[in-house]
Amino acid sequence: MSSDNKNKLQIEEDEKHLLLDHNYDGIQELNHPLPSWWNAMFYAGIIFGICYWAYYSFLGGKTLRDELAVEMTVVKQAQAEYKLLTEAYKPEVFEQFNKPENMEQALAVFTDNCLQCHAENGRGDVGPNLTDDYWLVSQGTPETNYKVVYYGSEENGMPAWGEVLSSEEIYQALVYVNSLKNTFHPEGKEPQGEKISE
């Protein structure tokens, strides 16, 4: 029975005490317990897991979702502040663009975004005539025009451009609109709103 010999458990002298005293069909085993450091980590892991679960499930620990919410309020606040800063009309920016050499660009912005409703030279179509001295929502000044352009008058069909155009484009459009003021286009749309002469 040489194969028996081959399969026979090789037990070193110093391992004899580890031999478990059972024998299943000739199979015996040595008891090699896990090292205590391994057990320590294992149990520490379980304890940590229970604490972690309890802390985040019941004890009000901040989850990633909560942290995101906190960060988002900070971001929203920063955005709101930035918006306030950019949405206020700034006369010095208007003046910066209000130069003859800039008119071509100002016209381009108007053509791309405003022409469809206010027509060539702002004589008016769906939108009111911008060349007369009657004004519906604004008072015809760059500052009051800025408000209408930025926030729109959407229930009456004037889109809010504050979210669409860059700040520069809005000022460009305002510069062009300002250049139309009181040019009284001969084919202009009939006056709408109140007469404002200054």
The residues that touch ligand HEC, with contacts defined as CB under 6 A, are: 113-114, 116-118, 126-128, 135-138, 145, 148-149, 153, 156-159, 161, 173, 177, 193
Least CB distance to ligand HEC at residue 154 (A): 9
Least CB distance to ligand HEC at residue 159 (A): 6
Give 108 or 117: the residue with its C-beta nearer to ligand HEC. 117
Give 92 or 154: the residue with its C-beta nearer to ligand HEC. 154
Quick count: other Cβ atoms within 10 Å of Cβ 19? 14
CA 67 from chain center: how many Å? 16
Position 170, amino acid: I
* Buried residues in 55-79 as b, exposed as e (16+ CB within 10 A): eeeeeeeeeeeeeeeeeeeeeeeee
Give 93 or 117: the residue with its C-beta nearer to ligand HEC. 117
Give 56 or 178: the residue with its C-beta nearer to ligand HEC. 178
Least CB distance to ligand HEC at residue 84 (A): 21
Q: Torsion angle of alpha carbons 156, 183, 114, 118, nearest 10°?
A: 50
CA distance 180 to 174: 10
Least CB distance to ligand HEC at residue 141 (A): 10
